[in-house]
Chain A
Amino acid sequence: MISLILRTATRFLLTLLLLYSVFLLLRGHHEPGGGFVAGLVAAGAFALYAIAYDVKAARRALRADPRALIALGLLVAAGSGAASFLGRKPFLSGQWIAFTLPGPTRFDLGTPLLFDVGVYLTVVGVTLLIILSLTEE
Chain B
Amino acid sequence: MGITVAVLAGFALSLGAPWIHRVARGSTGWLLAVLPLGLTAYFAGWIGPISAGETATASFPWVPSLGIHFSFYLDGLGLLFALLITGIGALVLVYSGGYLAGHDQLGRFYAFLLMFMGSMLGLVLADNLITLFVFWELTSLSSYLLIGFDHEREASRTAALQALLVTGVGGLALLAGLLLMGQVGGSLELSHLLRQGAVIREHGLYLPILLLVLGGALTKSAQFPFHFWLPNAMEAPTPVSAYLHSATMVKAGIYLLARLSPLLAGTDAWLYSVATAGAVTMLLGAFLAYQSSDLKRMLAHSTVGALGMLTLLLGIGGPPAVSAAMVFLFGHALYKGGLFLVAGAIDHATGVREAERLGGLGASMPITATAAVLAALSMAGLPPLLGFIGKEMVYEAIWGARHAPLLLTGATLVTSILFVAVAGVAGVRPFIRSARDRQRPHEPPISLWIGPVLLSVSGLIVGLVPGTAGEPLISPAVAAVLGGPETARLALWHGMNPTLALSVMALAGGVGIYLARARLAPAASRVVAGVSRWGSERWYSASLDAVNGLARAQTRWLQSGYLRYYLLMIVATMLGSVGYTLASLGGARAPSGWSDLYLYELVVAALILLAAGVAVRSRSRLGAVAALGVVGYGQALIYILFGAPDLAMTQFLVETLMVILFVLVFYHLPRFAPLSGGRARAHDALIALATGGLMATLVLIATAVQLHPAISDYFAEQSLAQAHGRNVVNVILVDFRALDTLGEITVLAVAGIGVYALLKLRSPSGRNK
Tell me the A residues contacting B by CB distance below 8 Å: 28-37, 40-41, 43-44, 47-48, 50-51, 66-67, 70, 73-74, 77-78, 81, 91-92, 94, 96, 108, 110, 112-113, 115-116, 118-119, 122-123, 125-127, 129-131, 133-137
What A residues does B734 contact at CB under 8 A? 28-29, 34-35, 112-113, 115-116, 119
* 23 pairs, A vs B, C-beta closer than 8 Å: A29-B730, A32-B649, A32-B729, A34-B730, A35-B734, A47-B664, A51-B664, A74-B749, A77-B741, A108-B724, A112-B725, A112-B731, A115-B741, A116-B733, A119-B734, A119-B741, A119-B745, A122-B748, A127-B752, A129-B756, A133-B755, A134-B661, A134-B755
Rounded to whole angstroms, the CA-CA distance of A40 and B739 in the bound complex is 21
What A residues does B23 contact at CB under 8 A? none
Report B663-704 residues with CB < 8 Å from chain A CB. 663-665, 668
A29-B731 contact given A50-B664, A70-B749, A70-B752, CB 8 Å threshold: yes
Chain B: minimal CB distance from A103 (Å): 19
B745 touches A131 (CB 8 A): no
Contacts beyond the supplied A112-B734, A119-B734: 17 A-B pairs with Cβ under 8 Å: A30-B725, A34-B727, A34-B733, A35-B734, A36-B733, A37-B650, A44-B656, A47-B660, A92-B738, A94-B723, A112-B738, A115-B742, A129-B755, A129-B756, A131-B660, A131-B664, A137-B665
Closest residue of chain A to B649 (Cβ to Cβ) is: A37
A112 touches B723 (CB 8 A): yes
Q: Is B760 an interface residue (CB 8 A)?
A: yes
Contact of B660 among A37, A48, A77, A112 (CB under 8 A): A48
Rounded to whole angstroms, the CA-CA distance of A34 and B729 in the bound complex is 9
Rounded to whole angstroms, the CA-CA distance of A50 and B663 in the bound complex is 11
Chain B: minimal CB distance from A14 (Å): 14
Report B704-750 residues with CB < 8 Å from chain A CB. 723-727, 729-731, 733-735, 738-739, 741-742, 745-746, 748-749
A44-B730 contact given A32-B645, A37-B649, A77-B745, CB 8 Å threshold: no
Closest residue of chain B to A117 (Cβ to Cβ) is: B734
A81 touches B649 (CB 8 A): no
Q: Is B407 an interface residue (CB 8 A)?
A: no
Contact of B735 among A47, A51, A112, A135 (CB under 8 A): A112
Rounded to whole angstroms, the CA-CA distance of A40 and B654 in the bound complex is 7
B759 touches A134 (CB 8 A): yes
B726 touches A31 (CB 8 A): yes
Q: Is B646 an interface residue (CB 8 A)?
A: yes
What A residues does B650 contact at CB under 8 A? 36-37, 40
Classify the interface of chain B: helix, strand, loop or mixed: helix
Chain A: minimal CB distance from B740 (Å): 10
Q: Is B44 an interface residue (CB 8 A)?
A: no
B742 touches A134 (CB 8 A): no
Chain B: minimal CB distance from A38 (Å): 10
A123 touches B745 (CB 8 A): yes
A137 touches B756 (CB 8 A): no
Rounded to whole angstroms, the CA-CA distance of A135 and B666 in the bound complex is 10
A47 touches B661 (CB 8 A): yes
A122 touches B745 (CB 8 A): yes
B653 touches A44 (CB 8 A): yes
B749 touches A125 (CB 8 A): yes
Closest residue of chain A to B664 (Cβ to Cβ) is: A135
B723 touches A74 (CB 8 A): no
Rounded to whole angstroms, the CA-CA distance of A43 and B725 in the bound complex is 26
Closest residue of chain A to B760 (Cβ to Cβ) is: A133
B724 touches A122 (CB 8 A): no
Contact of B653 among A29, A37, A81, A135 (CB under 8 A): A37
Chain A: minimal CB distance from B654 (Å): 7
A43 touches B657 (CB 8 A): yes
A37 touches B738 (CB 8 A): no
A33 touches B727 (CB 8 A): yes
Chain B CB count within 10 A is highest, among A48, A51, A112, A118, for A112
Classify the interface of chain A: helix, strand, loop or mixed: helix
Rounded to whole angstroms, the CA-CA distance of A115 and B729 in the bound complex is 15
What A residues does B656 contact at CB under 8 A? 44
Chain B: minimal CB distance from A123 (Å): 7
* Binary interface encoding of chain B residues 637-666 relative to chain A, with 1 for a CB under 8 A from any of its CBs, else 0: 000000001100110011011001101110
Rounded to whole angstroms, the CA-CA distance of A81 and B738 in the bound complex is 9
Rounded to whole angstroms, the CA-CA distance of A34 and B725 in the bound complex is 12
A29-B660 contact given A119-B741, A137-B665, A137-B759, CB 8 Å threshold: no
B741 touches A134 (CB 8 A): no
B752 touches A130 (CB 8 A): yes
B739 touches A33 (CB 8 A): no
A40-B661 contact given A34-B729, A130-B752, A133-B755, CB 8 Å threshold: no
A34 touches B657 (CB 8 A): no
A133 touches B756 (CB 8 A): yes
A122 touches B657 (CB 8 A): no
What B residues does A136 contact at CB under 8 A? 759
What B residues does A137 contact at CB under 8 A? 665, 668, 759
B664 touches A126 (CB 8 A): no
Q: Is B753 an interface residue (CB 8 A)?
A: yes
Rounded to whole angstroms, the CA-CA distance of A64 and B665 in the bound complex is 23
Closest residue of chain B to A114 (Cβ to Cβ) is: B734
Rounded to whole angstroms, the CA-CA distance of A130 and B756 in the bound complex is 6
Rounded to whole angstroms, the CA-CA distance of A134 and B668 in the bound complex is 10
What A residues does B724 contact at CB under 8 A? 29, 94, 96, 108, 110
Q: Is B751 an interface residue (CB 8 A)?
A: yes
A92 touches B742 (CB 8 A): yes
* Binary interface encoding of chain B residues 169-208 relative to chain A, with 1 for a CB under 8 A from any of its CBs, else 0: 0000000000000000000000000000000000000000
Closest residue of chain B to A92 (Cβ to Cβ) is: B738
Rounded to whole angstroms, the CA-CA distance of A52 and B759 in the bound complex is 23
Rounded to whole angstroms, the CA-CA distance of A73 and B664 in the bound complex is 26
What A residues does B725 contact at CB under 8 A? 29-30, 112
B753 touches A70 (CB 8 A): yes
Contact of B739 among A32, A35, A92, A116 (CB under 8 A): A92
Closest residue of chain A to B751 (Cβ to Cβ) is: A126
Rounded to whole angstroms, the CA-CA distance of A25 and B446 in the bound complex is 63
What A residues does B657 contact at CB under 8 A? 40, 43-44, 47, 127, 131
Chain B: minimal CB distance from A3 (Å): 13
What B residues does A134 contact at CB under 8 A? 661, 664-665, 755, 759
What B residues does A92 contact at CB under 8 A? 738-739, 742
Closest residue of chain A to B741 (Cβ to Cβ) is: A119
Rounded to whole angstroms, the CA-CA distance of A37 and B127 in the bound complex is 49
What B residues does A43 contact at CB under 8 A? 657
What A residues does B660 contact at CB under 8 A? 44, 47-48, 51, 131
Rounded to whole angstroms, the CA-CA distance of A37 and B665 in the bound complex is 23
Closest residue of chain A to B723 (Cβ to Cβ) is: A94
Rounded to whole angstroms, the CA-CA distance of A135 and B745 in the bound complex is 23
Rounded to whole angstroms, the CA-CA distance of A133 and B754 in the bound complex is 12
Contact of B727 among A29, A47, A119, A131 (CB under 8 A): A29
Chain A CB count within 10 A is highest, among B656, B661, B738, B753, for B738
Chain A CB count within 10 A is highest, among B724, B734, B751, B759, for B734
Closest residue of chain A to B645 (Cβ to Cβ) is: A32
What A residues does B745 contact at CB under 8 A? 73-74, 77, 118-119, 122-123
Rounded to whole angstroms, the CA-CA distance of A28 and B182 in the bound complex is 47
Closest residue of chain B to A136 (Cβ to Cβ) is: B759
* Binary interface encoding of chain B residues 538-581 relative to chain A, with 1 for a CB under 8 A from any of its CBs, else 0: 00000000000000000000000000000000000000000000
